[in-house]
Amino acid sequence: MRRLIAFCLLLLPALSPARADPVTSFALDNGMDVVVIEDHRAPVVTHMVWYRVGAADEPPGASGIAHFLEHLMFKGTETREPGEFSSIVARNGGTDNAFTSYDYTAYFQRIAADRLGLVMELEADRMVNLALREEDVRTERDVILEERNQRVENNPSGLFREQVSAAQYLNHPYRVPIIGWRHEITELDRDAALDFYTTHMTPNNAILVVAGDTTPEEVRTLAEEHYGALPANPDLPPRTRPQEPPQLAERRLTLRDARVSQPYVARSYLAPERDSGAQDKAAALTLLAGLLGSGQTSVLNEALQFESQIAVQTGAWYSGMSLDDTTFNLFVVPAAGVTLQDAEDALDEALAEFLETGPDPDHLARIKSQLRAQEIYDRDDAAGEARRYGRALTQGLSVADVQAWPDILQSTTAEEITAAAREVFDRRRAVTGWLMSPEVTQ
Amino acid sequence: MIRLALALLLCLATLPARAAIEIEEVTTPGGLSAWLVEDHSIPFVALEIRFRGGAALDPADRRGVTNLMTGLLEEGAGDLDARGFSRATETLAARFGYSAGDDTVSVSAQMLTENRAESVDLLRDSLIAPRFDPDAIERVRGQVLSGLRSDRTDPRAIAGREARALIYDDHPYATDSAGTPESVAAITRADIVDAHAAALARDRVHISAVGDITPDELAALLDRLLGELPETGAPLPGEADLDMPGGTKVVSFETPQSVALFAQPGIDRDDPDFLTAYVLNHILGGGGFESRLMSEVREKRGLTYGVYSYLAEKDAADLWMGSVSSANDRIGEAIEVIRAEWTRMREEGVSAEELADAKTYLTGAFPLRFDGNAQIASITAGMQMDGLSPDYVTKRNDMVEAITLEEINRVARERLDPGRLTFVVVGTPDGVTDSIN
């Protein structure tokens, strides 16, 4: 049995391009970047438009506006009714959706390869012609409050993660939840959405990613036809956010909620992200997360589940793709009868021992062979590759950085991993959180 | 994300039918049969193995034993203990997944061509010669109990548990497939060994393989992998008696948003009206903004982030189910709207335009799903479990196209049953009265 609770989607972060699948990139004259990933196994394409804007680019006090706008982008244009975008895609046998993160907002459709031009036309239309009715904005705000209820208010782990992030970042907007604080969501309105739209949803702030049964030539022709004529925004603001000051004091928090039946302890450390041309430290941290928390024989599992019976689940993850400082995360779900203090102590003991001894060479070799194999398995999922490039290009990396990443991982040494661990595992830059029920006394 | 992905709710009727794949039926010298989609473009093969039976085989006082047994398959096998097995799997970079549901034990494997023989040996040991070491049993039992503990105060899990208990009475489906804290605590190693013999047998296995392998290679692989499984397993449980009295059951739980599940009797996969009902459900609440429930409850009124309905076709029970979540002061209105839409669709049927739109979506979305070796293996194994033949892949879209307005509206009248549409609501809903307790 591998995992009980979905603390994160992937223990090993998404890693590499499939080298055997050709990847082409170019730019349109208006500044829109284009990436094409060919996969001719099925007559399907994934068409994505990524914008270099996310929740961390919101004006202060308007948290949630990036995500709210994502919803409103389905509410019609000057020539299309609310919902018509999705119904046209559906009538053509396609599916569509969108998502918002701190550093990006993305819209995508999966559809038969011969309908690529159609979805480009639809997407180009809403990039410039969004038309919002006041009543639709109000109704959709209620939908978003229910979304927040479902993801966060009804879920103590969701509330807990918000509190940990807010404590982790002293100054950077990553401290604010992507969906927004409830009291600010209720104040979001049509004007705020349109301001955000006009400023950020422009071709020179966008990346088109097409994966599947197509060619770079076809994509270029269609993209020039549908996106090429759209005007760039010459006043696109530079992407600068408030950065973190030196973090000098450890933070600790406890969230008690009657809906918690299985308590756990989580630790989050501020950590460097992948930067263009400088991915070495992030590669070491990626391997560190694999060693500590991925698979049955991870360092934490060995110590807390096999050598002792402190935990029923442990984990470590690190996502290097981030525009600004990211985090390295650890958690321990204690076995029945084990206190959170004992679980945390055991975690710290295991980390201390790892910093002493460094990675076991066989273990590191196994992690690396899995990463090599992942390049093969990843080729089975062209849409996954499209997401990888979209994330990279909206978070400050280039196509070349993505393609260099697998080799950087393979060439990372045990010494580099230990050095990165020593640097990052500094409690002054960490948050330790306990999630527990009110009646449990520790 | 503007709406939650629905992958889990999609049933087999959505599967592509005119996809560019060719299914070859392979019979091994040892007498096993499998479906193969050969594709040598990426050097790995995806295997999907499904054993019919699953947690429904659990003895009444040992609920959860099939789930616990399945969780232990990768925790030590042959000469290797749990850690040894894990290290060997990691070294080969093979990917093995084991899971148990109400009706099925599923084994998914992805193996690189370069070390396939060694990977098969490892997978074989986990299926044929799992060790069920006492320390592994206690470790995994602890994990299962932890999950059950988490579910105790999770509104969605509570709703699922209460709905099962209400609908299925004393059938195995009445408890979660992971069991209860009491039943899991009582499971012995001997129970686990019995559950293994009951669930993993040749008389109930369906196999799909997709990727870099030839028919002869696959035949040899399967005889090696599964040849030593016992011929027969435990008998399958009988049909469940369904209790869906209509009305609403309220389970009081302090949380801001009420979670509601709803159900009425469904329709069997073998029923000639199944596909028509499937299309009908697509229009009613099958996902996407276009469905009536999504349009009325979310788009027009903003009462929820998501509302869905689906045909839950289990081996021993057929349900038409759905779910919605709304703030405690709004769930009452959401339930009223859903009931009204259920009745309206039964009485007025669907329009010609709605039917046409559903057909173009369902037939067009069809080749999109044949995307990736692992995905195709899962789809084609599911087809076998549903008793479909390989040519369903080519015939299915024509069957959808052939559905007439008259037919779908007859099915709406005959099958939608607002009187038996039963809601289970978990939360502190305003103005929703309990009519069942």
Tell me the one-letter amino acid at A184. E
pLDDT at B371: 83
Phi, psi dihedral angles at A315 (to 5 degrees): -165, 160
Q: Using the Cα atoms of residue B261, residue B264, residue B270 and residue B272 in order, give the sign of their dihedral.
A: negative
Question: How far apart are the CA of B412 and the nearest CA of chain A, in angstroms?
Answer: 22
Residues on chain B touching A313 (C-beta within 8 angstroms): 143, 146
With CB atoms and an 8 Å threshold, state whether B361 touches A100: no
At A87-101, the pLDDT tens digits run 999 999 999 999 999
Size of interface A-B (CB pairs under 8 A): 209
Search chain A and give the residue with CA nearest B74: A1
Q: Using the Cα atoms of residue A87, residue A93, residue A99 and residue A103 in order, give the sign of their dihedral.
A: negative
Q: What share of chain B is helix, strand, coil (3-state, %, to 5)?
A: 45, 20, 35
Confidence of residue A2 (pLDDT cuts 50, 70, 90): very low
With CB atoms and an 8 Å threshold, state whether B306 touches A100: no
With CB atoms and an 8 Å threshold, state whether B259 touches A154: yes
At B80-105, the pLDDT tens digits run 999 999 999 999 999 999 999 999 99
With CB atoms and an 8 Å threshold, state whether B146 touches A92: no
At B240-251, the pLDDT tens digits run 999 999 999 999
Average pLDDT over residues A236-241: 93
pLDDT at B6: 37
Are B322 and B261 spatial neighbours (Cβ–Cβ below 8 Å)? yes
Question: How far apart are the CA of A248 and the nearest CA of chain B, in angstroms?
Answer: 35
At B8-18, the pLDDT tens digits run 333 333 333 34
pLDDT at B420: 97
Indicate if the pLDDT at residue B432 is higher than 50.
yes
Search chain A and give the residue with CA nearest B301: A139
Tokens representing A138 are: 């109000």
Q: For chain B, how far is it from start to end, CA to CA, in angstroms?
A: 37
Tokens representing A320 are: 């290097």
Taking all residues of chain A, what is their mean pLDDT, rounded to a whole number? 93
Average pLDDT over residues A27-48: 94
Q: Tell me which of A150, A159, A338, A370 to substitute to probe the interface with B (most B C-beta atoms closer than 10 Å).
A: A150
Residues on chain B touching A373 (C-beta within 8 angstroms): 93, 112
pLDDT at B19: 52
With CB atoms and an 8 Å threshold, state whether B142 touches A309: yes
Whole-Å CA distances, B55 to A182, B70, B77, B164, B282: 41, 10, 22, 14, 29
Distance CA B394, CA B368 (A): 14
B305 at the A interface (CB within 8 A)?
Answer: yes
Tell me the one-letter amino acid at A241. R
At A383-436, the pLDDT tens digits run 899 999 999 999 999 999 999 999 999 999 999 999 999 999 999 999 999 999
Average pLDDT over residues A37-47: 91
Taking all residues of chain B, what is their mean pLDDT, rounded to a whole number? 93
Indicate if the pLDDT at residue A17 is higher than 50.
no
With CB atoms and an 8 Å threshold, state whether A70 touches B259: no
With CB atoms and an 8 Å threshold, state whether A42 touches B302: no
Are B283 and B291 spatial neighbours (Cβ–Cβ below 8 Å)? yes
B361 at the A interface (CB within 8 A)?
Answer: yes
At B107-136, the pLDDT tens digits run 999 999 999 999 999 999 999 999 999 999
At B173-196, the pLDDT tens digits run 999 999 999 999 999 999 999 999
Residues on chain B touching A20 (C-beta within 8 angstroms): 42
Indicate if the pLDDT at residue A82 is higher than 50.
yes
Using DSSP, state whether A165 is helix, strand or coil. Answer: helix
Indicate if the pLDDT at residue B211 is higher than 60.
yes
Beta carbons within 10 angstroms of residue A162's beta carbon = 18
Beta carbons within 10 angstroms of residue A254's beta carbon = 15
Residues of A with catalytic roles: 70
Search chain B and give the residue with CA nearest A87: B290
Distance CA A248, CA A205 (A): 36
pLDDT at B3: 56
